[in-house]
Homo-oligomer: A and B are copies of this chain.
Amino acid sequence: MADWQKITGGITAPRGYQAAGITAGLKPSGLPDLALIFSEVEAIAAGVFTTSQVKAACVEYCRQRLQAKHSARAILCNAGQANAATGTQGYLDTLETALAVGQALNISSESVLVASTGVIGQRIKMDALRSGIPKVVAALSETGSDAAGGAIITTDLVTKSIALETTISERPVRIGGIAKGSGMIHPNMATMLAFVTCDAVVSPALWQQMLARAADRSFNSITVDGDTSTNDSLIALANGQSRTPAITELGAEAEKLEAMLTAVCQHLAKAIARDGEGATCLIEVEVTGAHDELSARQIAKTIAGSSLVKSAIFGRDPNWGRIAAAAGRAGVPFEQENLQIKLGNFLMLKNGQPLQFDRAAASAYLKKATAGAYLQQDTVLISVNVGNGHGSGKAWGCDLSYDYVRINAEYTT
């Protein structure tokens, strides 16, 4: 039983936050492309970022800011140009952006974080950005989450948003989140972009630890195409406006907060995988019986990321041999005579021996899964047991369709 309930409001559901999203003219499509998240007071800030050696200017900027000071009041995000592999000028553009946002909000630029997404190797269109900043500041509102969520997406088909509420010391504590991501999704420390707001009172060190663990169990456990972005950023603010007692050490209340943070991150991560470029369904892989949680997740993520598994599921083909092959190459030792594979409720391999199963019924199970309806039934469940260990873990991915190729063969030209 979850210890929280879903509420509306996204990232403006927690107390003391405003958000906005506008069209600044950065995207060729003319769709919204500039988002701002604002905390009315200085908030504890934690972040996890891409581990790529090629980091976007904004990622280097945010890492430095959060190392110097574990707090922030604003996050500006532009969509259209990634500002990655743009050299020194790209970094100066990010600095200028933070200064302009600080001036428009009348706060220190040191409290402004910046995120970018779009085409790698392209600088942000600075003229459009300069005129957009006062407009996005003017548009800030306590109901602005959906507008912000819509302005950070690129090839995404849907916006991704969630808000949850729990009770700490008889007072409500809320976490909201928005995310974007659809391709170049194989996060390594964080996903493409996700912003989380929280009104809990929590210490900076604990908040960073909670976020890192939640990222491992959510964004770092999804894969769309095995490609890690130069711009991956997950930033979480906690502004203390719930006015609940401060959470400064591990214990029941910290666990409650971390569990809710993990649930918010998992919701957003699954929404990204489900919206994977060209995807027709969400694939959830659960691995049990491993030595530890990390090994289990590694096997699960390898299966969820296998092009052959993904193609078979797009073809609604219960080809469990490809699941076995992917498990085997995950780099985690196990005895193949312990291997067990289930697709939905169909047990296909037990103790390393293939079983007879109803192939037509298994194919029908796969055919029921379609992402269009966004129902529980859009999910294909793969369950793998690799031994008698206590480690278990999950990963999420999506199928590989003709549309993935079409989208990515046609993206820049």
Which residues from chain A sit less than 8 Å from chain B, CB to CB? Answer: 51-55, 82, 84-88, 119-122, 183-184, 186, 188, 225-230, 305-308, 311-312, 314-322, 324-330, 332-334, 336-337, 339, 349, 351-354, 359, 363, 400-402, 404-413
How distant is A366 from chain B, measured CB to nearest CB, in Å? 10
Residues B226 and A325 in contact, CB atoms below 8 Å apart: no
A287 to B52, CA, bound (A): 17
Residues B408 and A336 in contact, CB atoms below 8 Å apart: no
Q: Which residues of B contact A336 (CB under 8 A)?
A: 53-55, 85
Q: A53-B333, A230-B324, A329-B188 are in contact. Are A317 and B82 (CB under 8 A)?
A: no
Q: Which residues of B contact A119 (CB under 8 A)?
A: 321
Residues A311 and B85 in contact, CB atoms below 8 Å apart: no
Residues A85 and B352 in contact, CB atoms below 8 Å apart: yes
How distant is A317 from chain B, measured CB to nearest CB, in Å? 5
Residues A225 and B52 in contact, CB atoms below 8 Å apart: no
* Interface hub of A325, A353, A408, A411 (most chain B Cβ within 10 A): A325
The 6 closest A-B pairs by CB, nearest first: A120-B321, A315-B409, A54-B328, A311-B408, A52-B328, A87-B353
Residues B411 and A184 in contact, CB atoms below 8 Å apart: no
In the complex, given contacts A54-B339, A227-B326, A402-B405, what are 8 additional A-B residue pairs having Cβ atoms less than 8 angstroms apart? A53-B333, A85-B336, A120-B322, A121-B320, A121-B324, A121-B354, A226-B305, A311-B409
Residues B411 and A324 in contact, CB atoms below 8 Å apart: no
Closest residue of chain B to A337, judged by CB?
B87
A53 to B401, CA, bound (A): 28
Closest residue of chain B to A227, judged by CB?
B308
A229 to B413, CA, bound (A): 35
Copies of this chain held together in the complex: 2
Residues B339 and A307 in contact, CB atoms below 8 Å apart: no
Q: Which residues of B contact A52 (CB under 8 A)?
A: 325, 328-329
Residues A349 and B85 in contact, CB atoms below 8 Å apart: yes
A54 to B86, CA, bound (A): 44
How distant is A26 from chain B, measured CB to nearest CB, in Å? 16
Q: Which residues of B contact A51 (CB under 8 A)?
A: 329
A43 to B317, CA, bound (A): 43
A82 to B308, CA, bound (A): 16
Residues A312 and B411 in contact, CB atoms below 8 Å apart: yes
A240 to B8, CA, bound (A): 77
How distant is A387 from chain B, measured CB to nearest CB, in Å? 11
Q: Which residues of B contact A307 (CB under 8 A)?
A: 225-227, 307, 404, 408
How distant is A388 from chain B, measured CB to nearest CB, in Å? 16
How distant is A330 from chain B, measured CB to nearest CB, in Å? 8
Residues B121 and A349 in contact, CB atoms below 8 Å apart: yes
A sample of 9 inter-chain contacts (CB < 8 A) reads A53-B330, A120-B324, A225-B308, A227-B306, A227-B326, A307-B307, A311-B408, A311-B409, A319-B413
The one of B55, B85, B87, B329 that contacts A228, using a Cβ cutoff of 8 Å: B329
Q: Which residues of B contact A407 (CB under 8 A)?
A: 311
Residues B411 and A332 in contact, CB atoms below 8 Å apart: no
Q: Which residues of B contact A305 (CB under 8 A)?
A: 226
Q: Which residues of B contact A333 (CB under 8 A)?
A: 53
How distant is A120 from chain B, measured CB to nearest CB, in Å? 3
Residues A54 and B324 in contact, CB atoms below 8 Å apart: yes
How distant is A221 from chain B, measured CB to nearest CB, in Å? 17
